[in-house]
Amino acid sequence: MEPILFIVFGAIAVGGSIMVVTRRHPLASALYLILTLFAVAALFVLRQAHFLAAIQVIVYAGAVVVLFIFVIMLINVPESRLPVERLTGVRFLAVIVAGLLILEGALVARRFGLAGTPAADSGSVEAVGRALFTDYLLAFEVTSVLLLAAVIGAIALAKKKI
Amino acid sequence: MTSLPQPLMTHLLSVLIFLPLAGAFLLIFLPKENKRLLRNTAFVLTLADFLLSLPVAILFDGSTAAMQFVEKVPWIPQYGISYHVGVDGISLWLLMLTTFLMPITILSTYTSVEKHVKEFMIFMLLLEVGMVGVFLAVDLFLFYIFWELVLIPMYFLIGVWGSDRRIYSAIKFFLFTFAGSVLMLVAIIALYFHHYAVTGVYSTDLLAMAELVIPVKLQFWMFAAFALAFAFKVPMFPFHTWLPDAHVDAPTAGSVILAAVLLKMGTYGFLRFAIPLFPVAAVDLTPLLATLAVIGILYGAFVAMVQKDIKKLVAYSSVAHLGFVMLGLFAFNVQGIEGGILQMVNHGISTGALFLLVGILYERRHTRLISEYGGLSRVVPLYAACFMVITLSSIGLPGLNGFVGEFLILVGAFRPMRALTVVAASGVIFAAVYLLWMYQRVMFGTITNEKNRHLPDMNAREVAYMLPLIVFVFWIGVYPQTFLRKMDASVTALVARIEAKRQAALADSPPGETLVARYFDVGKGGADGTAGH
Amino acid sequence: MVGGILQYLWLVPALPLLGVIVNSAIALFAERPVLLRENAHGEGGHGAGDAHGHHASPPYRKLVAFLGPAVVGASFAVSVLAVLALAARPAHDRLFVQVLFPWVQAGTFQAPAALQLDPLSAVMILVVTGVGFLIHVYSVGYMSHEKAFARYFVYLNLFTFAMLLLVLGSNFLVMFVGWEGVGLCSYLLIGYWYEKKSAADAGKKAFVVNRVGDFGFLVAIFLIFWTFGSVDYTEVFARIPVLSERGVLTTGIATAITLLLFVGATGKSAQIPLYVWLPDAMEGPTPVSALIHAATMVTAGVYMVARTSALYLLAPTSMAVVAVVGAATAIFSATIGITQNDIKRVLAYSTVSQLGYMFLACGVGAFAAGIFHLMTHAFFKALLFLGSGSVIHALSGEQDMRKMGSLKKRLPVTFTTMFIATLAISGIPGLSGFFSKDEILWKSFSSGHGHAALWAVGTAAAGITAFYMFRLVFLTFFGDSRMDPDVERHVHESPYSMTVPLMLLAVLSVAGGWIGIPEALGGHNYFEAWLAPVFGHGTEGAAHGGGHHSLALEYLLMAGSVGVALCGIGLAWYLYRARPGVPKEIAGRVPGLYDVVLNKYYVDEIYDAAIVRRIVNGSVWLWEAFDATFIDGIVNGVGALVRGAGERARRLQTGVVGSYALSLLLGAVIVVGFLIWP
Amino acid sequence: MMEPSAYLLLSGILFGIGVTGVVARKNALIILMSVEIMLNAVNVAFIAIGSYLGDVTGGVFAFMVMTVAAAEAAVGLAILIAIYRLKETIDITELSVLKW
- Summarised one tens digit per residue, pLDDT across range C601-620 is 777 788 777 788 888 888 88
Give, in order, the Cα–Cα distances in Å from C362 to each of A56, C171, C357, C369.
Answer: 119, 21, 9, 8
- Looking at residue C48, its pLDDT comes to 39
- Over 70: is that where the pLDDT of C1 sits? no
Amino acid at C253: I
Instruction: Search chain D and give the residue with CA nearest C649.
Output: D100
pLDDT tens track for C386-407 = 888 888 888 887 888 888 878 8
pLDDT tens track for C40-90 = 665 444 433 334 344 456 778 888 888 889 999 999 999 999 888 888 888
For chain C, the C-alpha Rg in angstroms (whole number) is 31
* Helix B166-199 vs helix B242-249: crossing angle, to nearest 10: 130
Question: Domain segments of chain B: what residues?
Answer: 288-479
* Yes or no, beta carbons of C659 and A90 under 8 Å apart: yes
Report the C-alpha gap between C545 and C448 in whole angstroms: 8
B129 neighbors B17 (Cβ within 8 angstroms): yes
Mean pLDDT of D57-66: 87
Report the C-alpha gap between B126 and B137 in whole angstroms: 16
Residue D91 carries which DSSP code? Answer: B
A71 touches chain C (CB under 8 A): no
Closest CA to B90 of B331, B273, B318: B273
Q: pLDDT tens digits, chain B, 533 residues: what are they?
A: 445 667 677 788 899 999 999 999 999 998 888 889 999 999 999 999 999 999 999 988 888 888 888 888 898 888 888 899 999 889 999 999 999 999 999 999 988 888 889 999 999 999 999 999 999 999 999 999 999 999 999 999 998 988 888 888 898 888 888 888 898 899 999 988 888 888 888 888 888 888 778 888 888 889 999 999 999 988 888 888 888 889 889 999 999 999 999 999 999 999 999 888 888 888 889 999 999 999 999 988 888 888 888 999 999 999 999 999 999 999 988 989 999 999 999 999 999 999 999 999 888 888 888 888 888 888 888 898 899 999 999 998 888 988 999 999 999 999 888 899 999 998 888 888 888 888 888 888 888 888 888 888 888 889 999 999 999 999 999 899 888 888 888 999 999 988 888 887 777 666 666 676 666 765 444 344 443 33
* Yes or no, beta carbons of C101 and B338 under 8 Å apart: no
* Yes or no, beta carbons of A71 and D12 under 8 Å apart: no
Closest CA to C288 of C347, C229, C373, C233: C347
Separation in Å, CA of A22 to nearest CA in chain D: 8
Closest CA to B132 of B286, B17, B285: B17
Strand partners, B369: B309
Q: Is C415 helix (H, G, I), strand (E, B) or coil?
A: helix
Within 10 Å of residue C621's Cβ, how many Cβ atoms? Answer: 14
Dihedral, A121, A122, A123, A127 alpha carbons, nearest 10: 80
* Yes or no, beta carbons of D96 and C655 under 8 Å apart: yes
* Cβ contacts of C663 on chain A, cutoff 8 Å: none
* Cβ contacts of A108 on chain C, cutoff 8 Å: 672, 676
* Cβ contacts of B246 on chain C, cutoff 8 Å: none
* Yes or no, beta carbons of D93 and C658 under 8 Å apart: yes
The answer on A148 and A74 residing in a single domain is no
Report the C-alpha gap between B244 and C622 in whole angstroms: 14
- Looking at residue B530, its pLDDT comes to 40
- Over 80: is that where the pLDDT of A153 sits? yes
C648 touches chain D (CB under 8 A): no
Within 10 Å of residue B31's Cβ, how many Cβ atoms? Answer: 9
The answer on A140 and A101 residing in a single domain is no
Which residue range(s) make up the domain with A62? 1-84
Instruction: Search chain D and give the residue with CA nearest A41.
Output: D44
Report the C-alpha gap between C336 and C331 in whole angstroms: 9
Nearest-by-Cβ selection for C651 from D26, D95, D100: D100
Closest CA to C151 of C216, C60, C232: C60
- C to D CB pairs, distance under 8 Å: 27
The answer on A40 and A99 residing in a single domain is no
Strand partners, B205: B139
Strand partners, C400: C342
Report strand pairing: C109-117 vs C96-106.
antiparallel
C547 confidence band (pLDDT: 50, 70, 90): very low
- Over 80: is that where the pLDDT of C593 sits? no
- A to D CB pairs, distance under 8 Å: 265
Instruction: Search chain D and give the residue with CA nearest C652.
Output: D100
Separation in Å, CA of A101 to nearest CA in chain C: 6
* Cβ contacts of D70 on chain A, cutoff 8 Å: 59-60, 63-64, 147, 150
pLDDT top residue among A109 and B108: B108
Tell me the CA end-to-end span of chain B in Å, nearest whole number: 50
Alpha helices (H) in C143-250, listed in sequence order: 149-168, 172-190, 197-228, 233-245
**Which helix H or strand E contains C116, and what residues bound it?**
strand C109-117
Neighbouring chains to B with at least 3 Cβ pairs closer than 8 Å? C
Separation in Å, CA of C52 to nearest CA in chain B: 20
The answer on A102 and A29 residing in a single domain is no
Q: Using CB atoms within 10 Å of the CB of residue C158, give its burial: 0 to 12 exposed, 13 to 18 middle, 19+ buried.
A: buried
Q: Who contacts B515 (Cβ-Cβ below 8 Å, separation ≥6)?
A: B284
Q: Return the half-sphere exposure (C-beta side, CA atoms, 13 A cut-off) of residue B512.
A: 0
- Looking at residue A122, its pLDDT comes to 62
C657 touches chain D (CB under 8 A): yes
Q: Which of D34, D80, D96 to mutate to test the interface with C (most CBs of C within 10 A)?
A: D96
Q: Is C54 helix (H, G, I), strand (E, B) or coil?
A: coil
D11 neighbors D38 (Cβ within 8 angstroms): no
Report the C-alpha gap between D55 and D46 in whole angstroms: 10
Percentage of chain C modeled with pLDDT above 70: 94
Per-position DSSP letters for C10-54, written without gaps between them = GHHHHHHHHHHHHHHHHIIIIIHHHHHHHHHTTGGGS-SSS----
* Yes or no, beta carbons of D96 and C662 under 8 Å apart: no
Separation in Å, CA of C166 to nearest CA in chain B: 12
Nearest-by-Cβ selection for A63 from D43, D51, D70: D70
For chain D, the C-alpha Rg in angstroms (whole number) is 17
C221 neighbors C242 (Cβ within 8 angstroms): no
CATH 1.10.287.3510 for domain D4-87: yes
Q: What does pTM read for this prediction? A: 0.81
Separation in Å, CA of A94 to nearest CA in chain C: 7
* Cβ contacts of A94 on chain D, cutoff 8 Å: 20, 23-24
User: Considering all CA atoms of chain B, what is the largest pairwise distance in Å, rounded to the nearest integer?
Assistant: 77
Counting CB pairs under 8 A, whether chains D and A reach 3 or more, is: yes
Q: Is A118 helix (H, G, I), strand (E, B) or coil?
A: coil
Q: Which of C656, C657, C665 to mutate to test the interface with A (most CBs of A within 10 A)?
A: C665
* Cβ contacts of D93 on chain C, cutoff 8 Å: 656-658
C164 neighbors C129 (Cβ within 8 angstroms): yes
* Yes or no, beta carbons of C103 and B481 under 8 Å apart: yes
Report the C-alpha gap between B476 and B345 in whole angstroms: 10
Strand partners, C342: C400
Nearest-by-Cβ selection for D23 from C650, C654, C662: C662
Q: Which of A5, A31, A36, A47 to mutate to test the interface with D (most CBs of D within 10 A)?
A: A47
Report the C-alpha gap between C532 and B423 in whole angstroms: 39
* Yes or no, beta carbons of A93 and C662 under 8 Å apart: yes
Separation in Å, CA of B306 to nearest CA in chain C: 6
Which CATH number is A18's domain given?
1.20.120.1200
What total of structural domains would you count in chain A?
3
* Yes or no, beta carbons of A101 and C668 under 8 Å apart: yes
Closest CA to C480 of C416, C409, C585: C409
* Cβ contacts of D54 on chain A, cutoff 8 Å: 116-119, 122
Neighbouring chains to C with at least 3 Cβ pairs closer than 8 Å? A, B, D
Closest CA to C354 of C464, C443, C453: C464
